[in-house]
Amino acid sequence: DAKTTQPTSMDCAEGRAANLPCNHSTISGNEYVYWYRQIHSQGPQYIIHGLKNNETNEMASLIITEDRKSSTLILPHATLRDTAVYYCIVATYTDKLIFGTGTRLQVFP
């Protein structure tokens, strides 16, 4: 499975959009992009996934570049409860998700 590169940490003001980037330049054609987040001392929570097209759900939007080598997770109106570590994962099979160290997002008042 391809590896991903994410910034170690990011800050975002409450109420503003949080844009979390992810590079996955070696992604193959049948690999999906998944996003999970982990609030301190809890299990990870699924956010969204995509293959080629941009996706949106009640939690976030996922923007995937046309060449699929990078993506951005967008939290449209960040709240303090969105403070967490965000993991970008690329994988063919949902059974074999490899979690890296992710991006630590700090939302401040």
Partner 1 sequence: SQTIHQWPATLVQPVGSPLSLECTVEGTSNPNLYWYRQAAGRGLQLLFYSVGIGQISSEVPQNLSASRPQDRQFILSSKKLLLSDSGFYLCAWRDTILLPYEQYFGPGTRLTVT
Distances from the Cα of 106 to the Cαs of 1, 11, 47, 83, in angstroms? 29, 5, 17, 5
Would the CA dihedral through 5, 66, 84, 42 be positive or negative? negative
Provide the terminal-to-terminal Cα distance of the chain, rounded to the nearest Å. Answer: 38
Q: In the bound complex, what is the minimum distance in angstroms from residue 17's beta carbon to partner 1? A: 24
Q: In the bound complex, what is the minimum distance in angstroms from residue 18's beta carbon to partner 1? A: 20
> What x/- string results for residues 57 through 86 when contact with partner 1 is judged by CB under 8 A?
------------------------------
Residue 2 and residue 100 in contact, taking contact as beta carbons nearer than 8 Å: no
> What x/- string results for residues 4 through 43 when contact with partner 1 is judged by CB under 8 A?
----------------------------x-x-x----xxx
Q: In the bound complex, what is the minimum distance in angstroms from residue 96's beta carbon to partner 1? A: 7
60, 84, 86, 102: residue in contact with partner 1 (rule CB under 8 A): 102
Residues ≥6 apart with Cβ < 8 Å to 37: 44, 45, 47, 82, 84, 85, 86, 87
2, 44, 59, 106: residue in contact with partner 1 (rule CB under 8 A): 44
